[in-house]
Amino acid sequence: MRFRKITFILAFLSVAGILNAQQTPAPAQDEVISIIGATAHTGTGEVIENSLIIFENGKITKVAKASEAEAEGRVINAEGKDVYPGFIAPNATLGLVEIDAVRATDDEDEIGSMLPHVRSLIAYNAESKVVESMRPNGVLIGQVVPRGGRISGTSSIVQFDAWNWEDAVVKEDDGLHINWPASFKRGRWWLGEERGMKPNKEYQKQVMELNDFFASAKAYLSGKRNVKHLPYLAMEKVFTGDKKVYIHVNGEKEMLDAIQFKKDNELKEMVFVGAYQAMDLADKLKENNIAVLVERPHNLPNQDYQEYDSPYKLATELYNKGVLVAIQSAGRMERMNTRNLPFYAGTAVAFGLDKEEALQLITSNSAKILGIDDIAGSLEEGKDATLFISEGDALDMRTNILSHAFIQGREISLETHQTELWKRYMNKYKRQNAQNKEAEADEAEHAESK
């Protein structure tokens, strides 16, 4: 009896595990695929009506009008639909945290301050249910970024259909992330400090600590390296320019100081993340070749004097000023909200951008900023076949309904825990409605017979 009970429990747990597992990653593309008839939004500003897109072995081989070339292999008729490059989510913690309240599932932050050697990639959970839920909205690639400390660590870029982090990686150790100190800070009332904003007396000291760390790392790397120093070794690609520097910063003064920091340390490429007051420095950003990952627009203004819609139109204003800009979704519930990335771009349309320009904020511009524009971010020959077909406008939550999606040519499942629940309960209410109608018909028939 006891043996039967144990066997039953083990069988139940096994089935439960299967039911709750992520979708099995798709097999490699093994046939030529042609998508014909769709309106192709290339991500470069170009729109091709009645298009033909062909891809083979995970790479796009043809992007043209359907009248200009012949379809090959398996043909997907997408007439009346739209095809887009896969959306890219920069500055995300996807796969690093599954449940905030469960410490064992939280790998976004490490103890310490100067942590350039911390690599987010090896903590990335490719089987995350949160990651899986990005795909039905067309978000197929993301930059996985650590949090915390003055120097948080090193990010990597992954695609969202993989067995493990080794399979997921698109670009390994792409950038170093620095949380720039704030010149003003709020009083910590729980420590007895006065409430409200006040100057940060430690600001200059904190900036100096960053400069000292960079100087020490440069000195170590130019010396004999008799002792292995992991934080300094992780800085080598920063100084050669193979690793970008992402500065998480919002204030105008702080951004000016960060620009000077770039010059002092001879850094080749720098990206501002957040950059709430970037519009005040748009010309300087363009002059110093600094790209911006703006915060998601669905926010209230940070300052009382600002217009109510300032967060909504920041991306538009920077784009019109010629700054290379893309949208990221950090903030409260950032992992779950990352699936709304296309609708953040849609908001930019409501505040002045053309739809194809807004599309670039989550495709080609993101790819350029992350340094993967040679393989992703647009529908062009030679790039990865990471794309999807939508029933309509993918920047509109009413019509962003995916019928097919591909990552590096592999056709991926669009089922998630959420879609399974939706279907389950929709069927429940359909059955109930049918039963109610049947009961009403029986009652009517019974009443007539009387």
Please give the average pLDDT of every successive group of 10 residues along the chain, which has 450 residues: 48 43 83 97 96 97 95 96 98 91 85 94 93 94 96 97 96 97 84 81 95 96 92 96 96 96 95 94 95 92 83 93 95 89 95 95 97 97 97 95 96 88 84 81 74
**One domain, residues 252 and 386:** no
How confident is the model at residue 423, as a pLDDT?
A: 85
**One domain, residues 273 and 151:** yes
Last residue of a domain, one of 376, 393, 428: 376
Alpha carbon distance 50, 65 (integer Å): 6
Residue 367 maps to a domain: yes
CATH of the domain at 196: 3.20.20.140
Residue 172 maps to a domain: yes
pTM of the model: 0.89
**One domain, residues 396 and 310:** no
**One domain, residues 163 and 139:** yes
Sign of CA dihedral 163, 169, 173, 178: negative
The token duo for 419 is: 């879609």
DSSP alpha helices (H): ranges in 265-416?
282-287, 310-320, 334-337, 341-350, 355-360, 364-370
| CB contact at 8 A, 145 and 152 | yes
Quick count: other Cβ atoms within 10 Å of Cβ 350?
14
Residue 125 maps to a domain: yes
Q: Kindly list the distances between the CA atom of residue 166 and the CA atoms of 92, 170, 420, in Å, as whole numbers in the listed order.
A: 18, 9, 28
- DSSP strand E in 37-127: where? 39-41, 47-48, 51-56, 59-65, 74-77, 82-85, 87-92
**One domain, residues 280 and 408:** no
| CB contact at 8 A, 36 and 77 | yes
**One domain, residues 59 and 177:** no
Quick count: other Cβ atoms within 10 Å of Cβ 216?
15
Domain that holds residue 400: 18-85+378-415
Alpha carbon distance 389, 290 (integer Å): 33
**One domain, residues 152 and 215:** yes
Last residue of a domain, one of 376, 401, 431: 376
Residue 433 maps to a domain: no
Count of structural domains within the chain: 2
How confident is the model at residue 21, as a pLDDT?
A: 52
**One domain, residues 281 and 401:** no
Last residue of a domain, one of 322, 354, 376: 376
Q: State the residue for tokens 């009645």.
A: 50
DSSP alpha helices (H): ranges in 183-250?
203-222, 230-233, 236-240
- DSSP strand E in 150-269: where? 151-159, 169-179, 184-186, 197-199, 244-249
